[in-house]
Amino acid sequence: MWNQPLVKTGDVESGAAPLYPMMLERPELRWSFIRKVYSIVTLQLLLTIAVGAVVVTVHPIAIFFVTTSGGLALYIVLIITPFITLCPLYYYHQKHPVNYLLLGIFTISLAFAIGLTCAFTSGKVILEAAILTAVVVISLTLYTFWAAKRGQDFSFLGPFLFGALIVLMVFAIIQIFFPLGKISVMIYGFLASIIFCGYIVYDTDNLIKRFTYDEYIWAAVSLYLDVINLFLSLLTIFRAAES
């Protein structure tokens, strides 16, 4: 993080109010960084919506993926591509334009996977999950900015959220080999929703205080994954309830 002089709340020359007490950098620089990250996240979400809408509305695409051997193989590739892309993306996240290229591959492949998930879900369920996701994300983001302004810190959530995520992954693996029915699926979706709500607060707090200016790509990826995972968790709950 750049070494900047201490800026007081009442400093008119700073051009912006500090985001949190004892801020050791110029507020306008941090606000610029935050706007850049949210711009990238917005573009990622719009691209995801566009790709997902095409997959959902053009039915032959989904039918190809689930009825042909080549489609199934391609579906597996699309699922693992985001995870594979994360490794070089983390290594090159400060190197332009490679970081944007890798970010595009990551977003498009994940968008296709999400679109295929939504292709076999009713429009009502998708709309309910999308609206609730938007309301929760906006509410938690505003709350985190408000709390940071008043000196609250959410860095303590890191270890707890990581441990909860491990439990969630193990629970998902158990579900694959030993399906426990609709109730367990709804419990899984509910727990996942709570965990990723916590991650939204945690990563937003990191965005305000801890991410450096060169880490805008990784900050955007973190927030984007929080939003997508929250949407998928809510989709799991609504889909199980509908069935």
pLDDT digits (tens, 9 = 90+) for 85-118: 988 888 888 888 888 999 999 999 999 989 988 8
User: Which residue's structure tokens are 């999950």?
Assistant: 129
CA distance 222 to 201: 11
The residue ranges of every structural domain in the chain are 12-242
| Residue 158, CB-side half-sphere exposure with 13 Å CA sphere | 8
Average pLDDT, rounded, for the chain: 86
pLDDT > 90 in the chain, percent: 50
Show Cβ contacts of residue 31 under 8 Å, excluding neighbours closer than 6 positions: 16, 19
* pLDDT at residue number 21: 83
pLDDT digits (tens, 9 = 90+) for 190-229: 999 999 999 999 999 999 998 988 899 999 999 999 999 9
Amino acid at 108: I
* pLDDT at residue number 117: 86
CA distance 158 to 195: 11
* pLDDT at residue number 47: 95
* pLDDT at residue number 95: 82
DSSP, res 92:
S
Report the SS3 class of residue 75: helix
Cα Rg of the chain, angstroms:
20
With cut-offs at 50, 70 and 90, classify the pLDDT of residue 6: very low
Give the largest CA-CA distance in the chain.
Answer: 65
With cut-offs at 50, 70 and 90, classify the pLDDT of residue 15: low
CA distance 120 to 55: 10
CB 99 within 8 A of CB 79: no
What b/e readout covers 29-41, taking b as 16+ CB neighbours within 10 angstroms? bbeebbeebeebb
CA distances from 48 to 38, 68, 94, 109, 112 (A): 15, 24, 23, 9, 8
pTM (two decimals) = 0.88
* pLDDT at residue number 212: 87
CA distance 120 to 162: 31
Structure tokens belonging to residue 51: 């790709």
For residues 10-22, average pLDDT: 63
| Residue 134, CB-side half-sphere exposure with 13 Å CA sphere | 9
For residues 40-49, average pLDDT: 96
Show Cβ contacts of residue 223 under 8 Å, excluding neighbours closer than 6 positions: 37, 38, 41, 200, 203, 204, 207
For residues 8-33, average pLDDT: 71
